[in-house]
Amino acid sequence: MTKSNILIEVINIKKSFGSLHTLEDISLKLEKNQFVSILGPSGCGKSTLFDIISGLELPDSGKILINGKNYNGKTGRVSYMHQKDLMFPWNNVINNVCLPMFIKGENRKKSYIKAKKYFPDFGLKGFENNYPNQLSGGMRQRAALLRTYLFANDIMLLDEPFGNLDAITRRKMQLWLLGIWDRMNASVLFVTHDIDEAIFLSDKIYLLSRRPAVVREIFNMDIERPRDNKTLTSMKFNKLKEKIITLL
């Protein structure tokens, strides 16, 4: 791999909140068109790491390079789906989903047309004019994912995007995500608690330790693509799963 293929480079990130040493020393790389997952125990600092990569938080030390340039504390470059769905209660679904386009100053009508195309895929059709408080947790999460996608960036940070979904919807959304990831030539950093999900989706998995967090292990998923439901029962899949579970 040449250097130019590396999109995000996280270099020796360290972050404490007061006396709470959250991230001790985290380094990782996301290459172009790669799908990389981050697995780690609750509270180890995965969301904090995403806050730092997206520029919302500053690290105590270390660097975030995007396309080789320093992005410490600079927002607006990557699309970031937070762990909470963060719907705006005063906006209906369509206005929530179109928010990133409004912020970019795009035309309202055009934004609506663009967004509405995706409503069936996301299981939100017919709910365009509903308010977030009228939606289920899963629907809110799908709306948040659609909003992230409509920010239309080559790099997406997804923090447990399917955490609130039932198994069936979850599988559907995973397949959908793989589809757009492939079509859009997007690169994804993905946080999850679900080992199956991580293996199924990823090219690479970073396993983080408990707080203060370091990278404990890196797994390369050499399972061929495109992946489908058969992947989940394949030999390779189960071998990888075993390897990860023994480490947890």
Q: Euclidean distance between the first and final Cα of the chain, in Å?
A: 30
For residues 111 and 139, the answer to whether their CB atoms sit within 8 Å is no
Q: Are strands 155-159 and 187-192 parallel, antiparallel or unpaired?
A: parallel
**Which tokens belong to 176?**
């959908």
102 binds other proteins (CB under 8 A): yes
82 binds other proteins (CB under 8 A): yes
Residue 37 binds which of other proteins, Mg ion, ligand ATP, none (CB < 5-8 A, kind-dependent): none
Q: How far is the CB of 163 from ligand ATP (least distance, A)?
A: 9
Q: How far is the CB of 46 from Mg ion (least distance, A)?
A: 5
75 binds other proteins (CB under 8 A): yes
Cβ closest to ligand ATP, residue 175 vs residue 244: 244
The contact mask relative to other proteins for 150-179 (x = CB under 8 A, - = no) is -x----------------------------
The closest alpha carbon to 59, from 107, 93, 103, 27, belongs to: 27
Among 14, 21, 63, 84, interactor with other proteins by CB under 8 A = 84
* Residue 84 backbone class (left: φ over 0; alpha: ψ -120 to 50; beta: rest): beta
Residue 106 half-sphere exposure toward CB, CA atoms < 13 A:
17
Sites of contact with other proteins (CB under 8 A) = 51, 54-56, 75-80, 82, 84, 86, 88-92, 99-100, 102-103, 131, 133-134, 151
